[in-house]
Amino acid sequence: MEISIRATGHRGAGANAVSCGPTGAPVIRFAGERVDDPQDGRRKLVRVTPIGADVLVRSAEGFDRLRAERVRALGADRLRALESDLRVMAPADAFRLDAAA
């Protein structure tokens, strides 16, 4: 699956938030760059730029902070049980991330 990065119009981590979509969508230069695939001239590859990597790291840190807050509020055992219950209710393969909107 090929992906690109496009602006969502939301603000986050000090820059436009990004989301994945088909490679036909405009690529935001600060987060990703399109390059030719050396193995297939019909394809483009999307590489994350240093700024895009920084956005991803900041997002991961934010999710880590949220999870830590939930551990403090519920306790580690209860949070693990809740996450397990949610996986039963919404299995990982229930929603395809590459499906058209």
Residue range 18-71, pLDDT digits in tens: 445 555 455 556 678 888 889 988 888 888 888 888 988 999 999 999 999 999
Please indicate, yes or no, if residue 12 is contained in any of the structural domains: yes
Helix, strand, or coil (residue 55): helix
Please indicate, yes or no, if residue 98 is contained in any of the structural domains: no
For residue 82, give both structure tokens.
Answer: 């809740």
Please indicate, yes or no, if residue 11 is contained in any of the structural domains: yes
C-alpha–C-alpha distance, residues 37 and 56, integer Å: 23
First vs last Cα of the chain: how many Å apart? 16
pLDDT bracket for residue 2 (50, 70, 90): very low
Mean pLDDT of 4-29: 47
For 59, the domain range is 4-89
Please indicate, yes or no, if residue 96 is contained in any of the structural domains: no
Tokens 């999710």 correspond to 63
pLDDT at 1: 33
What total number of domains does the chain contain?
A: 1
Please indicate, yes or no, if residue 97 is contained in any of the structural domains: no
C-alpha–C-alpha distance, residues 55 and 31, integer Å: 8
Please indicate, yes or no, if residue 100 is contained in any of the structural domains: no
C-alpha–C-alpha distance, residues 24 and 2, integer Å: 10
